[in-house]
Amino acid sequence: MSRFAEPMARLIEELKKLPGIGGKSAQRLAFHILRSSDDDAEALASAVRDLKAQLRLCSICNNITDVDPCSYCTNPTRNHRLVCVVEEPTNIAAIEKTKHFNGVYHVLHGTISPLHGVGPEHLRISNLTRRVDAGEVDEVILATNPTIEGEATASYLADALKKLRVKVTRIATGVPAGSDIEYTDEVTMHKAIEGRREL
């Protein structure tokens, strides 16, 4: 038996499903919502509802968007022949921060992951290969993470895309800018030497 009234217990249960929220935090949040005004509680509820109702995946690039195609895919000032492939929608923000990338994106929503039973057939790539196959793309930049799963996913995509005769590149990995190579771990250092460029 729960020691809370049913609506309270239910809200706590739902909050506990959120990442980083344990039982104690869920209780704290639930009581905060209970004490807040009706308007605030309603605003929270409708924000959650609208998120699911109004957001969808862009049919061209799989980015999360409220309009389809998304704002990147419809922006006429961007280079639509240069496509950067990322694992998650949140990775786009990291690349946009540089203000130096003017191409468009393709979001995979994950990587190949044998331990989770995720194979290449589960990746969202059909709309990417369609774009490339239609001759709409000059270069695909693979910007998956430099983890074993990200590297294997990049390698798999490179093989698949090269068959469609498109230039495929991989982002460089190496020593972080402004750091000291003395404190760089050996894997990063190895990659940095491997990916060296001529000056």
Partner 1 sequence: MALKESEAIVLRTYPMREADLLVTLFTRLDGKVRGVARSAKKSRRRFGGALEPLTLVRAVYEDRERQELTRLDSCEVMDSPLTRQMTYPRLVALGHVAELLDEVLPDREANDALFRLTVSVLGALRGPEIWMPLTYFELWLTRLTGFLPDLSACVECGLDLEGEPAFYHALADGLMCVDHKRLASSRLSVDSRRWAVQMFRAPVAALSAEPWPKSVGEDLRKFLMQIVQRHLEKKLTTQPMLAKLD
- Taking CB under 5 A as the criterion, the residue among 15, 26, 30, 61 binding Zn ion is 61
> Looking at the chain, how many residues does it have?
199
How far, in Å, are 32, 43, 59, 64, 196 from residue 68 at the CA level?
36, 25, 7, 9, 40
Question: Which residue from 137, 123, 162 is spatially nearest to 83, judged by alpha carbons?
Answer: 137
**At closest approach, how far in Å is the CB of 81 from partner 1?**
27
- Residues at the contact surface with partner 1, assessed by CB under 8 A: 19-20, 112-117, 119-120, 146-149, 151-153, 155-156, 183, 185-188, 190-191
Query: With respect to Zn ion, which residue has the nearer C-beta, 63 or 153?
Result: 63
Q: How far is residue 136's CA from residue 129's CA, in Å, rounded to a whole number?
A: 10
- Taking CB under 5 A as the criterion, the residue among 70, 125, 142, 166 binding Zn ion is 70
Considering only the stretches 24-32, 57-65, 75-83, 157-165, report the one whose residues sit in contact with Zn ion under the rule CB under 5 A: 57-65
120: partner contacted, choices partner 1, Zn ion, none (Cβ within 5-8 A by kind): partner 1
Question: Which residue from 169, 107, 124, 167 is spatially nearest to 142, judged by alpha carbons?
Answer: 169
* DSSP, res 17: T
- Taking CB under 5 A as the criterion, the residue among 11, 12, 15, 63 binding Zn ion is 63
Cis-peptide into 19, omega within 30 deg: no
Query: With respect to partner 1, which residue has the nearer C-beta, 80 or 122?
Result: 122
Q: Which x/- pattern, by CB under 5 A, does the window 73-102 give for Zn ion?
A: x-----------------------------
Taking each helix axis from N to C end, the angle separating 23-35 and 38-54, rounded to the nearest 10 degrees, works out to 120
Considering only the stretches 23-31, 61-69, 76-84, 150-158, report the one whose residues sit in contact with Zn ion under the rule CB under 5 A: 61-69
